[in-house]
Amino acid sequence: MEQKPVVLNVGYTDTPFIPGSQWRVHDAARPQPPLVTPGGAAGAPPSDAIVLFDGQDLVGWVSVKTGEPAAWKVENGYMEVVKGTGNIKTTAQVGDCQLHVEFASPVEVVGSSQGRGNSGVFLMGLYEVQVLDCYDNPTYSDGTVGAIYGQHPPLANASRKPGEWQVYDIVFIAPRWGADGKLASPARLTVFLNGVLVQHDRVSQGPTGHKTVSNYDTPHGSEGPLMLQDHTNPVRFRNIWVRPIVEEAE
């Protein structure tokens, strides 16, 4: 049953104002937080999530290269990279958000370093949180699973074994530019991998790249697609949902 927000006669009207805020301490008029019903099981989408992939089909996902419907394989509740079909992205546009993604590295272990179970979760199609099979697979540190690729190694390597489902929970804050075209605030990411904190409010130095130094020379919008990478390895994804972050006015 849907819960209805309840306006309670609680709080105060005679307390001091919180510095920098229109609200008093314990303000009676301060709006109640919206009610969100958590998912029924750990990782299941809460009531206000936008489900980007529910395991049924790739409706809402297109090829980055061609704009045609995404050609990755869907079976048994997951999607799998089909080598050579290229990166795919959502038609949905997302900016500041909480993102949940589950992935599994190929059971059959092939290759080494960046050649093993490589894919990536690109916020706004630009900011890559690396996906790699890093179970007993050394690679360069800033390319480890949980890395902000090419910039920040994860705080820990919290990999599960190949074939096991792994979980990303990501908080992404998009960068902002001023009217003068100058960067006002950079992108920031907090990332949990399998429940382990691997990035804490980390500042991205710009859209991530391979063998390049990132920068914010090119302003972009406040929203973009979620992109998943075809790095030729048959990595699987499932249960992808997002909750846009809407900040309360102070």
CB of residue 130 to Mg ion, shortest distance in Å? 5
Which uninterrupted H or E stretch holds 189?
strand 188-193
CB of residue 56 to Mg ion, shortest distance in Å? 26
**Binding flag, residue 120, Mg ion (CB under 5 A):** yes
CB of residue 49 to Mg ion, shortest distance in Å? 25
Q: Which is nearer to Mg ion, 90 or 233 (CB)?
A: 233
DSSP helix/strand/coil, 142: helix
Q: Which is nearer to Mg ion, 49 or 130 (CB)?
A: 130
Please state the separation of Cα 163 from the chain's center in Å.
Answer: 21
Q: Which is nearer to Mg ion, 49 or 148 (CB)?
A: 148
Spatial distance between the Cα atoms of 143 and 216, rounded to a whole number of angstroms: 21
Q: Which is nearer to Mg ion, 118 or 157 (CB)?
A: 118
Stretch that binds Mg ion, among 75-83, 94-102, 116-124, 168-176 (CB under 5 A): 116-124
In the block, tokens 């979980």 appear at 167
Q: Is 93 exposed, middle or buried (0-12, 13-18, 19+ CB in 10 A)?
A: middle
Spatial distance between the Cα atoms of 122 and 225, rounded to a whole number of angstroms: 8
Q: Which is nearer to Mg ion, 45 or 150 (CB)?
A: 150
CB of residue 143 to Mg ion, shortest distance in Å? 8
**Binding flag, residue 207, Mg ion (CB under 5 A):** no
Q: Closest by alpha carbon to 134, among 123, 150, 147?
A: 147
**Binding flag, residue 206, Mg ion (CB under 5 A):** no
In the block, tokens 């910039």 appear at 151
CB of residue 167 to Mg ion, shortest distance in Å? 17
Q: Closest by alpha carbon to 231, among 72, 67, 100, 77?
A: 72
Residues 219-248 that bind Mg ion (CB under 5 A): 229
Q: Closest by alpha carbon to 132, among 198, 190, 224, 66?
A: 198
Q: Which residues bind Mg ion (CB under 5 A)?
A: 118, 120, 229
